[in-house]
Every structure is written in C-alpha cells, then in structure tokens.
Amino acid sequence: MPFVRLAREHNIEYIGSTDWRVKKPHVYFHKDKPHLKIVIPNNWVLESDRLETMLDRPNDVALYSSIAESSLEKARRFHKEKLIPRITSGFLPHTLRQNELKEYYDYFETIITSVVFAYSSIEAFVNMSIPHDYTLTRIEKSGEETILNKSEIEKQCSLKVKLKTILPNILSCDSPSQKKWWEIFTKLETLRNEIIHSKESKSEERYSKLLSAKIFRIVEIHKTVIEFFGQYIYESNSNLLDEYPNGFGYDTYKVKTMTEQNFQNSINVLNG
C-alpha cells in the first residue's frame, strides 16, 4: 500500500525539518491522489508571565528519553576518563582530593538525572498508550468491584501493573514479565524510587550503585521497554502510532485518507 510508505517517508522528512521530539502531526492523504496531503501540526499556546508562546507540542516520551540519553552520555565520559583508569590500575582504594569532588558531584547530578528521566519516559509512554475510553475493573478487598477510568488508572496503578497487565490487555500482547530485560527494568525502578524517596540509611549503597558500570545498561533499558510495545503498536494497533514517539524505530503515523469532497472541504476550512 503506497500510503504506508508515504507516511513513513513524510514523517522522517517532517522531523528532519523540525525536531524529532515533536508530537506527530495529524496527516490526511487524498484517497485517490496519494501525493496530496493535509498536515495539521499539534499546536500549543503556552501562557506564562503575560507571554503567549505558540509552538508544536512536544512528545513527553521523546523529550524525557532525550534528557536521559544526553545525561547518560556525559556520565559515560566521566566513567571513561576517571573510573576506567582506576579499574585497570588494580582496584586500589582512592581517597578523593578536594579538587576531585566537583567532578564526582557533577557526575552524580548527571546520572541521577538520567535515571529519573529514563523511568519517567516509560511512565509517560504507558500513560499515553491508555485510550481515553479505557476502563479497568478492580476487585477490592471487600469483594466489591471498582471501575477505574484512564485518569484513575494513571494515578492509582503502579507502573509495574500497567506494564504487566494493563498495556498487554490494550495491545493484545504477552506480559513482558518473562522477558530478559524485565529484571533490569525492576532495577531501574528500584533505583529511581530510592532516589525520589531518599533514605539516609540507604544513601551510601545508592551512590555506590550510581558509580557502577552497570548503571548504563539500567538506564538504557527504558528504550528496550518502549520499543518492545512499539512493535505491537506498529503491527496491530495503528491508532496509537500518532502518539508513539519518534526515535524508537517506528517513525511513522497512522494512515488516514479523505475523499475528494472531504479533502477540498478541509482545505477550505483551513484557508478560512
């Protein structure tokens, strides 16, 4: 079908001329003339300090992932320049001099940022994937049934429950809890929670984890999680393609077509 190819080609061209973190536009192809299309960006008008700023709406998942990745790259440089040489020299104890503290503290800032936003990108993706008319029936301890709407699911259900149960139900796919990456995701969640709910008794252990080379794979797992569900969205849940972020292997949108009459009517409306 030419529309599928055209949609992918146009989306790649679109983000090349704007920014890949943008929320995908609404695009309608002429049913009988595939080379004709109407592109309607997702515009926002942000009001702050008596200023109005009109811009194309960002995709939260892409934005948070970008923050995680850019911070991770800075953390990698520190690890390569400061920690690898110490490891190769024989794991000797090292007491930091005062002029070295800043470098380590800067590293902690970047890696903490990376952990928090990697987790936030997964959470944003899952919430984005829940349809507005979706409901969840939950059996309370009293035996009574409670029906939760999208907003209530977002607030009351843990990310693990959403990933293991709710999203597989929406996308008609298997629970990811048996995947090899699931254990790494749980480490990301644990570390993120330890950072957000900082407990003094766990502080030394937490910072030790942040210095470990394993931290990079833990942060990177956010992309694996999103790409796992992205495959099911691409193959059989195209209604969610417009919401799915660019940069995760499925840089396209849902194909929508119009008849000649509707196409011309839409043009007239857009032209005022």
Q: Report which of 127, 172, 164, 171 is spatially closest to residue 149, judged by C-alpha positions.
A: 127
Q: Report which of 271, 263, 228 is spatially closest to residue 249, judged by C-alpha positions.
A: 228
Split at pLDDT 50, 70, 90, the class of 91 is low
For the cut 80, the answer to whether the pLDDT of residue 1 exceeds it is no
Residues in the chain: 272
Q: Report which of 171, 166, 158, 161 is spatially closest to residue 228, judged by C-alpha positions.
A: 171
Structure tokens at 216: 């990079």
Are 251 and 11 in contact by the 8 Å Cβ rule? The answer is yes
Res 88: pLDDT: 75
**Region of poorest pLDDT, from 94-98, 207-211, 242-246:** 94-98
| Residue 150: C-alpha distances to residues 87, 130, 135, 137, 145 (Å) | 49, 7, 6, 12, 16
Spacing of C-alpha 191 from chain mean position: 18
Give the residue extent of every domain in the chain.
Answer: 2-57+253-270, 60-240
User: Which residue type, as a one-letter code, is found at position 43?
Assistant: N
Q: Work out the number of other CB atoms within 10 angstroms of the CB of residue 86.
A: 12
Res 90: pLDDT: 66
Res 269: pLDDT: 87
In tens, the pLDDT along 105-117 reads: 999 999 999 999 9
For the cut 80, the answer to whether the pLDDT of residue 89 exceeds it is no
Cα–Cα distance, 160 to 168 (Å, whole number): 12
- Our CA angle for 103, 106, 112, nearest 5°, is 140
Average pLDDT of 55-70?
Answer: 97
Are 39 and 27 in contact by the 8 Å Cβ rule? The answer is yes
* SS3 of residue 46 by DSSP: strand
Which H or E run includes 74? helix 60-78
Helix%, strand%, coil% for the chain, nearest 5: 60, 10, 30
User: Which residue type, as a one-letter code, is found at position 185?
Assistant: F
In tens, the pLDDT along 212-249 reads: 999 999 999 999 999 999 999 999 899 999 999 999 99
Which H or E run includes 145? strand 145-148
Which H or E run includes 169? helix 167-171
Confidence (pTM): 0.91
In tens, the pLDDT along 113-132 reads: 999 999 999 999 999 999 99
Are 37 and 261 in contact by the 8 Å Cβ rule? The answer is no
Are 3 and 238 in contact by the 8 Å Cβ rule? The answer is no
* SS3 of residue 238 by DSSP: helix
